[in-house]
Amino acid sequence: MSTTKKRLTAVVVGLGMAGTLAACGSSDGGQGSGDSKTVTLVSHDSWAVSKDVIAAFEKQSGYKVDVLKDGDAGQAVNKAILTKDNPQGDVFFGVDNTLLSRALDNGLFQPYEPKGSDTIKAEYRVDGDRHRVTPIDTGDICVNYDKKYFADRDLEPPKSFDDLVKPQYKNLLVTENASASSPGLGFLLGTAAEYGDNGWEGYWKKLKANGVKVVDGWEQAYNEEFSGSSSGKKAKGDRPLVVSYASSPPAEVLYTKPKPTTAPTGVAEGTCFRQVEYAGLLGNARNSKGGKALLDFLIGKRFQEDMPLNMFVYPVTEGAQVPPDFVKYGPQVKDPETMDPAKIADHRDQWVKSWTSLVLK
């Protein structure tokens, strides 16, 4: 018996050593359970911030920020809801207008009105006086086009939803599955906003007749099918129109070396749907004081101006400057389609279902 024990001990010690090896360099603990000096931000995979900006917050507030990226946007929200009784952090960032109702209906957040929230542009505020969520950034889901394709053929790129069903754009557009991808859903909502509850299905029938291709996710649509992105070129993508973001052209420029003088892609500004992302204090946050400080910081000028080049989104506060590269290579969409989160909540599932049987089957 004792020999077996010895053997086990040896193995356990070995395991422990491997553990130390694996853990070397990582800050242990995370979660900040009970530790009021750490504030934990739960977000999705796209969360990004400049190091010096977060360091400035840590210095000024005295809190250390721990970030937990929890999958893509939808997944992160679902996980936060699942764990709301014993949350993984204090603040959740990254629920957008298409999923906001799911978060609010499940009681994910507790009210807090951050300092400086009067600078948030009125059009982005929701939830009236309850202040359960705070808008942090916006972005537009729009059809992107391959400039070269249209220049080579002397063809005007499409400008609006109406254009996309015209014969000259037959078999050119690739979009994402609205039930699986947030740009796909955004595009569907855009058409629903444009053509109304009764008109959007007719529009999609025409779009289908005009040869729209549907793939499952943004990665495939943009990296494989789209002829305008650098990755799509390599993959010999042959669709010059793709549903992506208004910020994709600047991203194409900034992530290409050497930096080209103009973006290889453009945005059809009449096809845009505006996404707004919100953050809120989690219902059972352990460090709610730190969480509040973090929310104040997220709508502060420093962070708002840092966002565009990190997450490719636009600020929501008055007076926050958008970086020049962003203005130069990407459009500031003037008149995007929008929709009240409550209306999205009421119709989302039904629309996606109808869309699925209409377009995919």
Name residues contacting another protein, limited to 124-183 (CB under 8 A).
Answer: 177, 179-180
- CA atoms 338, 252, 259, 261: torsion sign: negative
261 near another protein (CB under 8 A)? no
What is the closest distance, in whole angstroms, from the C-beta atom of residue 356 to another protein in the complex? Answer: 8
Contact yes or no for 55/37 (Cβ under 8 A):
no
What is the closest distance, in whole angstroms, from the C-beta atom of residue 122 to another protein in the complex? Answer: 30
Specify the residue for token string 């039904």: 350
Binding range to another protein, per CB under 8 A, among 77-85, 188-196, 318-326, 337-345: 77-85
Instruction: Output the DSSP codes for 301-323.
Output: HHHHHHHHHHHS-EE-BTTPPPP
Q: Which residues have CB under 8 Å from 198's CB, separation 6+?
A: none
234 near another protein (CB under 8 A)? yes
What would the 3-class secondary structure string for 227-280 be? CCCHHHHHCCCCECEEEEECCHHHHHHHCCCCCCCCCCEEEEEEEEEEEEEEEE
36 near another protein (CB under 8 A)? no
19 near another protein (CB under 8 A)? yes
What is the closest distance, in whole angstroms, from the C-beta atom of residue 204 to another protein in the complex? Answer: 14
Site string for another protein, 290-319 (x = CB under 8 A): -------------------xxx--------
Contact yes or no for 273/78 (Cβ under 8 A):
no
What is the closest distance, in whole angstroms, from the C-beta atom of residue 30 to another protein in the complex? Answer: 3
Strands 173-176 and 213-215: parallel
254 near another protein (CB under 8 A)? yes
Compute the distance between CA of residue 100 and CA of residue 126 in angstroms, rounded to an integer: 10
Selected from 92, 161, 218, 273, the binder of another protein by CB under 8 A is 218
Selected from 11, 13, 151, 209, the binder of another protein by CB under 8 A is 11
Selected from 91, 95, 215, 299, the binder of another protein by CB under 8 A is 215
